Amino acid sequence: MLDVRCEEPGQAPRVFSVYGFAKLGEATQEQLRQSLFCLGCGARAYFRRASSDGKAACFGSLYHSDNCPEYRPSSSSKEHEADIAAVRQAIEQEDGLSIDFDAPVRLGRKSTGHSTASSVREPQGSYDVHSQHTPNTQAKAAGQPEDTLQTPKLGLKKLLMSLLRGSELAGSDLWVYTDEVHRWRAKNLFVNFADAIPTEKGAPRMYWGTLSHADNDMNWLNPTDSREVGIAISDVREALLKRFGIKERADFEGAGIILFGKCFYTKDKKRKIIKPWSQDPKWVYLLPGLD
């Protein structure tokens, strides 16, 4: 994308070329980043500055409609379509699906395999009222043999790609298992950053969307979808950077993200903070923005 529409609150809309936007001061860029939209379909867009590895500054969007004239399917589009199809099949043909939090992480076109810490931790703490016990839980209580959970097992990348492309997953009644004990209705589990609100007793959700930018120290991430939300990653920062091969702030810009976490208000209740559920980076998935 060479041009975007900027709709800053309280200001008349204006159009920026990537070259003009790149010439703005960094403070001005930061102010405008979450007000950028595709000229073709109106989807939220991002600006990614020139990177140290030679990539030029660009505009992009992971939310383009399929018929948008600005939509340029990437070399990974066939893989993305397969991801979307797998989720669609589960919605249409299955009673539920299981999230594979240990699925291999992909950096661009390369697979790093399982790059989580050697000790994989399950989320601890209370789940919300929509969480239900599976038959396995009842079997354990009765001392009976457990049945293997029979649902399609999909990684976070497939789920995120499906959500970004506007699938029905976020509004579906499909059961989604986060482990063999806890299940949720998809419509109660998946929450876009624009719709994030603190839950009762800090019950977790799968929050998703795209990133506008990170702070200078890469401890805070700012969603494209909402100015009122910040993502605190300081507790998992080093593990996350290593897991996804992130070396600079530009690597976050325009990335898709999904994370299992909790949402709460700042003390003055002017902003909402989302924090990963634990320090294990497997509960977070980052999908690089498109060039």
pLDDT at 197 over 90: yes
Grouping H, G, I as helix, E, B as strand and the rest as coil, residue 39 is coil
Nearest to 105 by CA among 249, 269, 242, 279: 242
Residue 14 phi/psi, 5° resolution? Answer: -145, 160
Residue 58 has pLDDT above 50, yes or no: yes
Task: Report which DSSP code applies to 100.
Answer: E
Question: Which residue spans within 156-242 are E strands per DSSP?
Answer: 175-177, 182-185, 190-192, 205-214, 220-223, 229-232
Listed ranges 61-75, 108-122, 251-265; the one with the highest mean pLDDT: 251-265
Over residues 85-99, mean pLDDT: 87
**Which residues are CB-neighbours of 246 under 8 A, at least 6 positions away?**
218, 240, 252, 286
Residue 231: HSE in the Cβ half-sphere, 13 Å Cα cutoff: 32
Query: What one-letter code names the amino acid at 151?
Result: T
Q: Which three-class secondary structure state does DSSP give residue 277?
A: coil
Strand partners, 17: 3
Q: Which residues pair with 15 in a beta bridge?
A: 5
Tokens describing residue 89: 């099949």
8 A C-beta contact, residue 198 and residue 189: no
Predicted confidence at residue 149, as pLDDT, reads 59
Amino acid letter for position 24: L
Mean model confidence pLDDT for the chain:
82
pLDDT greater than 60 at residue 173: yes
> The whole model's pTM is what?
0.78
Residue 59: strand pairing partners: 47
Task: Give the model confidence (pLDDT) of 99-110 as tens digits.
Answer: 999 988 866 433
Q: Look at 47 and 110; give whichever has higher pLDDT.
A: 47
Q: Tell whether the model's pLDDT for residue 73 goes beyond 70.
A: no
Q: How confident is the model at residue 74 (pLDDT cuts 50, 70, 90)?
A: low
Is residue 133 pLDDT above 60, yes or no? Answer: no
pLDDT in tens, 17-35: 999 999 999 899 989 999 9
**Of 108, 233, 97, nearest in space to 159 by CA:** 97
The predicted model gives 107-136 an average pLDDT of 36
Least confident of 55-69, 99-113, 156-170, 192-206: 99-113
pLDDT at 67 over 90: no
Determine the pLDDT at residue 120: 32
Length of the chain: 291
